[in-house]
Structures are given as C-alpha cells and as structure tokens.
Amino acid sequence: MILTARVWRGFGAVLLLAAGGFAGAAPAALATPTDTTPPTAPANLHAVSITDTDIVLAWDKSTDSSGSVSYALFFDDNPTPFWVSGTQFDVHANVAIGMIPGTTHTFQVRAEDSSGNASFSNRLTTSFAPGDDTAPTAPSNLHVVSNNSNGIVLAWDPSIDESDVIYFVDGAPCSPHHAGSATTLLIGSLATDPVCGISAGFTYTFSVRAQDAIGFNSPSSDTISVFFNG
C-alpha cells in the first residue's frame, strides 16, 4: 500500500496518541502556595473606660499579607466570643452571661485572616464598677381599673430598685405584654386588638413583673383572675 501525505498525517496522529499526549500540550499550572502565616498579634488589649454597666476595651490593629483580618473577643471560659468589626468593643452588663456590676472578667482577642490563621492578644482581667446588683422588688397591689368592651385595664404599685424599671404583664394572649415604665396597662379586647386581644366571656389570670436596667427580673406579683365582660 502506498501511503499518501494525508494518510501519513493520520498515522502520525495515532502514534502521538499512543505515546500519551499531543505535541505542544501546555504544562500543568503550578499550585498557589498556601498562606500559613498568622496575622500580627492584636497587642495592648486594655480598658478605655469602666462603669458599673460598661467596660470599653481596645487593642492595637493586626496586620496580615491578605489585607483582611477579623476579630473575636473571648471572655472568661465562654467558648462563644463577641464578634468585633474594629479594634474597640463595649462590653455591656448582661445578667444572662454573668456580667453585672462589681464582677470580674478575663478577656482576650483573637485575630484571624482569610485562610484561618490566628494570633492572640494578651489576657486582660478587669471588673465592672460597683453598682446595682440586686433584682427589683415584686410589683404589688395588682388590681382592675376598668373592664369594658375595650378590654381590661390593670394597675399596680411600683417596684423598688436602684435603677429604673420596666414592667411586663403575663396572662393574656401573646404574653408578655410590655408596659414600659408605666404602672398601668390596657389588655385589649379582640375588637381593639384582633391578633392578641382577649375574648368576652372568658376568665384570665394576670401577673406583673419588673425588670431593671441591668436585666434583673423581680419576682412576679400576686395573680389576679378577671372575668372579661366584653
């Protein structure tokens, strides 16, 4: 058989395939080096100001080759930090996590880059200034002011506390009802409050409690049962 030029070209292509590739194929791309260098430490963690309800913390800015650093502020042994967008944070008193006037806490900042590399600040132990560390007294003398088609108006004697208090009324649909600093509240009927109103012909049992500025809750008042006339 006489091999023509076209046949020779086809035969050559088969030989190249058999050899495992094409002539002139591009070399494999080099892998991008992994960033394993942490940001500089967020040094000089210190308290800017301290009151009975706030500890304002600040620290030196971290730097990183990625140009992106995020901060997390850890406190005591709690594994869940405060997430911080800058280099200053106001730690506010919070009863739920044990931060109340006069208590002492330890803080540390973690700086982390976009690759997950992290560095840590110094530890700082400091305290809230002394202040209100007790719950309000229970509201007393809960009673009915009016009972008509608009709803039931309740009133009570104020709680005693070192700071201002707000009141919450329990016992109606959608409880608790927020009364603010007032010592009276309308529990609306369905006519005045179609979503959370009370229904005529039913008896409701109410109580009221106070919460101070720190977040302490008072004991609940004595309960009162009221038949809604409607």
SS3 of 161-216: the string is CCCCEEEEEECCCCCCEEEECCCEEEEEECCCCCCCCECCCCEEEEEEEEEECCCC
At residue 9, the pLDDT reads 46
At residue 191, the pLDDT reads 93
Intervals of the chain under pLDDT 70: 1-33
CATH architecture of 46-127: Sandwich (2.60)
At residue 15, the pLDDT reads 35
At residue 34, the pLDDT reads 84
- 140-227, superfamily in CATH? Immunoglobulins (2.60.40.10)
Between the alpha carbon of residue 183 and those of residues 146, 189, 205, 211, the distances in Å are: 14, 20, 18, 13
In CATH terms, are 46-127 and 140-227 the same topology? yes
Domain boundaries, the chain: 46-127, 140-227
At residue 68, the pLDDT reads 87
Beta bridge partners of 185: 154
Rounded-to-integer distance, Cα 175 and Cα 209, Å: 12
For 102-183, strand residue ranges (E) read 104-113, 118-120, 124-127, 140-148, 151-157, 165-170, 177-180
